[in-house]
Amino acid sequence: MDVERYDRTRPAYPPELVEHLIAAAPGRETLDVGVGTGIEARQFQAAGCHVLGVEPDARMAEFARKSGIDVEVAKFEDWEPAGRRFDLLVSGQAWHWVDPVAGAAKAAEVLRPGGLFAAFWHVPEPPEEVADALADAYRRLVPDAPIDLKRVPKQPSDPYGPLIVKVADGLREAGGFGEPERSRYDWDWVYTRDEWLDQLPTFGSLTWVESTVRQEILAEVGAAIDRMGGRFTTRYATVAITAVRD
């Protein structure tokens, strides 16, 4: 994983989401689970939170530290809080890597009464021309791929629905939380050809592909974007699940 590329190209989270979570939490002490390169951590820090990150990938943790975030390297389920307590626990694009029950139990352990748990994810929907160009090139050039790269569908009414149900069930089973709640934020982002091609290699379908083949795939996607005038708008939905510590 090229951590610099990941941080440079992955989108930040809607300011409305950040503001809502901070307003709903009883204080500003924030734990970021799966902090990655620090994308959302820097947003919460800029909004006045004191952020501690937990991250299993040492390379990402080091990048986040260089950007001004305190990070401890560990899987969240194994992490030792050493008696520390937090007002807000956030996890951007990462909680699906955490065991839903063990992670929820650890979240209940480290949150103060009234503290807020919040996990959230992006759901992108690029135009069909861009998605189809990627799917077609991938199927032709990587026929034995272990990943079945389908054309990007229209966003469902409940993005990440099954995952959010799994997270909610984990929170209920672990105990210590009120009833989980969902929220959704819809927004658009304009990409140039170069910006989109810079981001694509950070996705799992392409990270393992041999470099020359990856470049061929990117060239075909780039040609499709050129035919659209060199830029396009991607629709995003950011979906979140929150729960208050009893």
In three-state form (DSSP H/G/I as H, E/B as E, the rest C), the secondary structure along 27-85 is CCEEEEECCCCCHHHHHHHHCCCEEEEEECCHHHHHHHHHCCCEEEECCHHHCCCCCCC
Q: Are 39 and 73 in contact (CB under 8 A)?
A: no
pLDDT tens for the chain, 246 residues: list them.
Answer: 799 999 999 999 999 999 999 999 999 999 999 999 999 999 999 999 999 999 999 999 999 999 999 999 999 999 999 999 999 999 999 999 999 999 999 999 999 999 999 999 998 999 999 999 999 999 999 988 766 665 444 555 677 889 999 999 999 999 999 999 999 999 999 999 999 999 999 987 888 888 999 999 999 999 999 999 999 999 999 999 999 999
The model's pTM:
0.93
Question: How far is residue 192's CA from residue 153's CA, in Å, rounded to a whole number?
Answer: 21
Question: How far is residue 77's CA from residue 100's CA, in Å, rounded to a whole number?
Answer: 10
